[in-house]
Structures are given as structure tokens and as C-alpha cells.
Amino acid sequence: GEDVEQSLFLSVREGDSSVINCTYTDSSSTYLYWYKQEPGAGLQLLTYIFSNMDMKQDQRLTVLLNKKDKHLSLRIADTQTGDSAIYFCAEKRGSARQLTFGSGTQLTVLP
Amino acid sequence: DAGVIQSPRHEVTEMGQEVTLRCKPISGHNSLFWYRQTMMRGLELLIYFNNNVPIDDSGMPEDRFSAKMPNASFSTLKIQPSEPRDSAVYFCASSFEVGETQYFGPGTRLLVL
């Protein structure tokens, strides 16, 4: 998905917060998603946010959406080694059923 | 609840052979998606079905790829003949109409020698 962009890599220390960023281009996006993919596994839905929301919090996860800038972020508080994975953001555009995925951000948590 | 089920989990075959990947969506979901994931191209949508009908197959690479959904609980993705460049992880996902959140299966790792 060239229209959904993410940084490829992020490294953080265990216990610190991680912030994974994503930008998208389609203003008709209705839902935005964060998926997590651990090595050798499928994509696991972490959370999603409606386009009319600015923020959503779920335990250690905080999603921030800036519709004006078409910017989505995922903050992971107190990052643990088990959070090491690839994180994909995805958007659902208008009435489309399919999702457009970013290239994924490889999060590495250092001890 | 069982999630999306895919089989086989791993497939190794020789160039020219036919490969069939299978998917059972979550019961009650009416949309089914096939994706391919490679290092070079990332996650690509190949085709998706709604109520067993193919809606968008523009992501299918070429005529060697075909997908069917004969009923609400089963879909296949077939590659014939297979080529080494088809080596990838193939994911199936399903969603329920309301909300459209997609749930992914564990994937099939295909290696074509």
C-alpha cells in the first residue's frame, strides 16, 4: 500500500514507551486499524478507531488520530520484549470492504 | 470460538505443480479475503468475496491464480502451474458486514522450488 506509509524500523528499551506512526492519504477513510504480526504468525487485530474519534485507549495501547494531517499513531506504554513484532496500520476507505495496509513497522524491544 | 482456519500451514512443491490453499472463515462472516505477503511487496490483497461472490479480483497476479468460494464456510486459492516467484505466505481473512474488522488466519507458507 503506497498510500499508507509507515517507518520500517523502531527500537526501544524495555519499559519505555513506543510510538509507531502511520500516514494515509484518503480522506474518506472510515476505520483505521492496527495489527500485530509476530514471527511466523498471522496478523492479529490489536485495535481500531473510527474516523470521527481522536483517541482510543485500551490498556497499554493508545491510538491517536489526526484527521486533518491524516496521521495515525499507536503508543505502547511500558513496552515489553513480548511486544517485539511487526505492526501494520490499515485503513478502510469509504464503502470499500477491503483494507489498505501499510508496509509494517518492525518494533524491536531491547532489554 | 474457532478463528479463521487455513490449510495446509506449510506447502513445499516443485515448479509446475498445482497448489491448492484452503480457508474456512469465521462462522457468520460474510466477507472473505485472500492476501499474499512477501518481503519485497509486503501484504497484497489478491481477491475478496462477499456472500460467496467474488467482488474484486484485481489483485490476482495472473491467470495462473484462481479462487473459488462454493459456500459460506469454504474457499480455495489455486495456483496452476506454480512458479518459484509464487513463494510467499498466503493469508485468508474474514469479516462481518457491520464494522468490517478483518480477522486473519495463521497463513500458509508456500515454497515453490
- pLDDT tens digits for range B13-64: 999 999 999 999 999 999 999 999 998 888 889 999 999 999 888 889 889 9
CA atoms within 13 A on the CB side of A24: 27
Read off the pLDDT band of A100 (50, 70, 90): confident
Q: What is residue A1's predicted lDDT score, i.e. its pLDDT? A: 43
Question: Residue B4: pLDDT band by 50, 70, 90 thresholds?
Answer: very high
Whether B98 has a pLDDT exceeding 50, the answer reads no
pLDDT tens-place string over residues B65-74: 999 999 999 9
pLDDT-based confidence at B1, cuts 50/70/90? low
Residue for cell digits 494515509? A24
In our burial notation (b when 16+ CB lie closer than 10 A, e otherwise), range B91-106 reads bbbbbeeeebbbbbbb
Residue B80 identity: Q
What is chain A's mean pLDDT, rounded? 91
Residue A12 pLDDT grade (very low, low, confident, very high; cuts 50, 70, 90): very high
Of A50, A37, A72, nearest in space to B106 by CA: A37
Among residues B21, B9, B3, the alpha carbon closest in space to that of B95 is found at B3
B81 prior amide bond cis, ω within 30? yes
- Closest CA–CA distance from residue A14 to any residue of chain B (Å): 27
Q: How many angstroms separate the Cα of A53 from the Cα of each of A30, A71, A96, B97?
A: 10, 13, 20, 21
Compute the count of residue pairs across chains A and B with CB atoms less than 8 Å apart.
45
Sequence-separated (6 or more) residues with CB below 8 Å from residue B77: B20, B21, B23, B34, B46, B47, B65, B66, B67, B90, B92
Residue A67's nearest CA partner among A105, A30, A35 is A30
Mean pLDDT over B88-111 rounds to 88
Q: Would you give the distance in Å from CA A96 to the centre of its chain?
A: 20
> Which chain B residues have a beta carbon less than 8 Å from that of A42?
91, 104-107
Contact A101 B55 (CB under 8 A): no
The answer to whether the CB atoms of B55 and A31 lie below 8 A apart is no
CA distance B83 to chain A (A): 22
> How many degrees, rounded to 5, is the angle at CA B70 between CA A98 and CA B42?
35
User: Is B42–A104 a contact, with Cβ atoms under 8 angstroms apart?
Assistant: yes
* Cβ–Cβ gap A42/B91 under 8 Å: yes
